[in-house]
Amino acid sequence: MSEFIWSLRGRCYKLGDNIPHPGGVIPASLVTARETDPKVLIPRLFEETDPGFSTRCKPGDLIVTGRNFGMGSKAPGYIAMQALGLGLLCESMSVQAYREAISTGLRVLSPCDGISLLCENGDDIEANFQTGVFINHTRGIEHSFPPVREGLQDLLAKGGTIAWLEHWWRTTGSMAKLEN
Amino acid sequence: MGFTAVEKVLGRASGRPGVRAGDVVYPNPDRVVIHDVVVRENKEKLDQIGITRLTAAKKVMMVTDHDVVYGNQRAADRGAFNRKAAAQWGVGKFYDAGQGGHGHIFPIEQGLLLPGMFYFDNDFHAANSGAVGAFGLRAGAEISRVLATGTTWVEVPKTVLLEISGQLKPGVQARDVGFYLGRCIKSGVIPMDLDYRVLEYAGELDQFGLGARVALCSTPVELRAAGIFIPPGEEVLAYCRRHAKMDFTPVFSDADADYEARYQMDVSAIEPQVALPGAVSNSVDVSEVVGTPVDHALIGSCGSGMYEDLLCAASLIKGRHVAPGVRLFIVPGSERSTQRMAEDGLAKIFLDAGAMILPAGCGPCNDAVVGPVAAGEVSISTATNNNVGRFGSREAKLFLGSPMTVAASAVLGKIADSRELSFDTALQKQMETAYV
């Protein structure tokens, strides 16, 4: 199995505070429908605020948000971000939103206190999700944020909950004597 | 520095005493609860991987509350799928349609969720278990991982303390306390952030019986609390001991626990509250909306589905009739409550009044699988929330009130202050012994 890539480098795509998942990240209809197919979700990412976003972003680009990103436990937008190879750096997000995000295998750091002051749209930025080191190459800034916590690094490195479960079943679960 | 109750419970469950808020742990739950509407997606997800056996299947409780009556073919097919899934997985307890009732009510009544317990649930209303001093945490989509492996990761939540002082006035109920709290948070009078916090109540709690304690959990959960903790008093502990289906050890926060913040609330001046459409925190004193005509009323849901709630509604409805043009749904929280309503004469009171009694479960307060509202209609209910479109048309107006406010409004045909109506004192007296 190839080594998990912990660092992403790309352009900064900046968002403000309190962006709701339905509407702010992806149309509400897809949230209500509990859509999980990346092919359906990708073209709709940020559709209501920035149509065509998915055609302009590139793998490695990093979405930098203000406080309380996602505002709750919804997942479809994170599935699209993960499938596009993007990363997510949030001033803060609810634990339930974070749970949904990392469960999809999305590289995400939260909280990143003050990150909005360290970068602007289009900057060449880099983040290491295992160490929390953030670099803004455009502005020559380096800063450390809390990394993905140890207890969750394995989940992320395996590619999120489904991939983690597949691995678990292959290596452990199918052999285990179940306590019933 | 001492520990909060949730730190102690998660420390015990994860074999790591001493865990603190913010730590990531993998707790071994005492139970796992999954609700009817999400069984299929989780079963299919696991089947696809090839996972056909659950770790600790005997701990798993599958409940049927969201869609009990199968209003369409899809729901009936889902029921059939769930029955097969329960058998294939060999779950410890399967409550099929018409058994058990609301999964966030009947396990509390039956001593299946007990003080000091920790359990995973797919749904965040699991926080109702805080009424007996247990912790139920939402795992969401990761309930599949819990089913397969027996656990998933949990960030230990911070705890905020709310000290209650004063006694509620007659005609004011626990749901009013919740609505009032939501109002105070929204207006900034109580600058409390409940997002993924445990709200721990303290102070003058003896005035709240078991049903009222469940009601106290409702609003904070809707304001995104991870859990509620109401330290069980002697009466609650006695009830739990009498009905316990397994051993339990109550857990309490230390006096010097590391709370994120402490707040106070005097409840003695609270008036009956009505939450205006759109959010539980939109509440105002009932006097501001008295007289608003209503078409639809509902008493039930995880917020007000205990037998106490049915008793107090019956105490106002007895001898009266639902107003012309109003449809009133009564949704008991448990099959046991439905039986008790038949035994105690409550069913006759409701039927004589022209109310419709639905099977135990969520009733309309879940995607309107039964009893929805039409565009332009006005509803007043004890639903857990009144978010736009919660049970029917997005063009309907959904107000929330306490069971007494809803009962009074249903018989008068307009939003009413229940204190203006006489009530049956014997039935209200029975509320004190609804759970013994």
Domain ranges, ordered by start, for chain A: 7-148, 149-180
- Angle, helices B210-222 vs B307-317, to 10°: value is 100
User: What helix, strand, coil percent values describe chain A, rounded to 5?
Assistant: 35, 20, 45
Q: Which amino acid is located at B407 in the chain?
A: A
- Do the Cβ atoms of B53 and A178 come within 8 Å? yes
- A110 — phi, psi (to 5°)? -160, 135
Distance between A114 CA and the closest CA of chain B, angstroms: 20
pLDDT at B317: 98
Average pLDDT over chain B, rounded to an integer: 96
User: Which of B150-164, B334-348, B385-399 has the least mean pLDDT?
Assistant: B385-399
Q: Tell me the per-residue pLDDT of A78-113, one tens digit each, with 9 for 90 and over.
A: 999 999 999 999 999 999 899 999 999 999 999 999
Question: Is any Cβ of chain A less than 8 angstroms from the Cβ of B157?
Answer: yes
Distance between A61 CA and the closest CA of chain B, angstroms: 27
B422 vs A75: which has the higher pLDDT: B422
Question: Is any Cβ of chain B less than 8 angstroms from the Cβ of A99?
Answer: yes
pLDDT at B176: 98
Per-residue pLDDT band for A2 (boundaries 50, 70, 90) equals low
Query: What is the pairing mode between strands B31-35 and B327-330?
Result: unpaired
* Number of other CB atoms surrounding residue B306 within 10 Å: 32
Per-residue pLDDT band for B286 (boundaries 50, 70, 90) equals very high
Cα A140–chain centre separation:
24
Instruction: Select from B88, B158, B196 the residue whose CB has the most chain A CBs within 10 Å, as the one to mutate to test that interface.
Output: B196
- B241 — phi, psi (to 5°)? -60, -40
Distance between B139 CA and the closest CA of chain A, angstroms: 9
pLDDT at A72: 76
Question: Is any Cβ of chain B less than 8 angstroms from the Cβ of A171?
Answer: no
**Apex A50 CA angle, A47 and A52, nearest 5:** 70
Range B350-354, long-range pairs (CB < 8 A, 24+ positions): B350/B313, B350/B314, B350/B317, B352/B321, B353/B317, B353/B318, B353/B320, B353/B321, B353/B322, B353/B328, B353/B411, B354/B321, B354/B322, B354/B328
Q: Tell me the per-residue pLDDT of B106-152, one tens digit each, with 9 for 90 and over.
A: 999 999 999 999 999 999 999 999 999 999 999 988 999 999 999 99
Question: Is any Cβ of chain A less than 8 angstroms from the Cβ of B202?
Answer: no
d(CA A116, CA A119): 6
The token duo for A72 is 């709750």
Distance between A11 CA and the closest CA of chain B, angstroms: 31
Distances, alpha carbon A124 to alpha carbons A134, A137, B104, in Å: 11, 5, 49
The token duo for B266 is 């005097």
pLDDT at B83: 98
Q: Tell me the per-residue pLDDT of B188-222, one tens digit each, with 9 for 90 and over.
A: 999 999 999 999 999 999 999 999 999 999 999 99
d(CA B228, CA A69): 24
CB B367 within 8 A of CB B383: no
d(CA B61, CA B371): 27
Q: What average pLDDT does this structure show over B164-187?
A: 98
Of B41, B141, B149, the CB nearest to A103: B141
pLDDT at B71: 87
Q: What average pLDDT does this structure show over B258-264?
A: 97
B233 pLDDT above the threshold of 80 = yes
- Do the Cβ atoms of B41 and A166 come within 8 Å? no
pLDDT at A179: 52
Question: Is any Cβ of chain A less than 8 angstroms from the Cβ of B77?
Answer: no
Question: Is any Cβ of chain B less than 8 angstroms from the Cβ of A168?
Answer: yes
Of B24, B148, B224, the CB nearest to A152: B24
Quick one: residue B10, left, alpha or beta (phi over 0 = left, psi -120 to 50 = alpha)?
alpha
3-class secondary structure per residue, A136-169: ECCCCEEEECCCCCHHHHHHHHHCCHHHHHHHHH
B84 pLDDT above the threshold of 80 = yes
- What is the predicted ipTM? 0.89
Per-residue pLDDT band for A73 (boundaries 50, 70, 90) equals confident
Per-residue pLDDT band for A178 (boundaries 50, 70, 90) equals low
Q: Tell me the per-residue pLDDT of B16-35, one tens digit each, with 9 for 90 and over.
A: 999 999 999 999 999 999 99
Residue with tokens 């369409």: B72
Per-residue pLDDT band for A146 (boundaries 50, 70, 90) equals very high
Query: What is the pairing mode between strands B296-299 and B283-285?
Result: unpaired
Question: Is any Cβ of chain B less than 8 angstroms from the Cβ of A166?
Answer: yes
* Number of other CB atoms surrounding residue B294 within 10 Å: 25
Q: What is the pTM of this model?
A: 0.94
Per-residue pLDDT band for A174 (boundaries 50, 70, 90) equals confident
- Do the Cβ atoms of A151 and B226 come within 8 Å? no
B389 pLDDT above the threshold of 80 = yes
B58 pLDDT above the threshold of 70 = yes
Residues in chain A within 8 Å Cβ distance of B155: 95
A165 pLDDT above the threshold of 70 = yes
A37 vs A2: which has the higher pLDDT: A37
pLDDT at A177: 61
Question: Is any Cβ of chain B less than 8 angstroms from the Cβ of A177?
Answer: no
CB B176 within 8 A of CB B309: no
Minimal CA–CA distance to B156: which of B29, B14, B1?
B14
Select the CATH number that applies to the domain covering A7-148 from these four: 3.40.50.720, 3.20.19.10, 3.20.20.140, 3.40.47.10: 3.20.19.10
d(CA A111, CA A107): 13
Distance between B71 CA and the closest CA of chain A, angstroms: 19
Instruction: Select from A71, A102, A148, A165 the residue whose CB has the most chain B CBs within 10 Å, as the one to mutate to test that interface.
Output: A165
Q: What average pLDDT does this structure show over B393-420?
A: 97
Strand order from edge to edge, sheet including B296-299: B283-285, B273-275, B397-400, B378-381, B296-299, B327-330, B356-357
pLDDT at B60: 98
The token duo for B319 is 């001898």
A172 vs B327: which has the higher pLDDT: B327
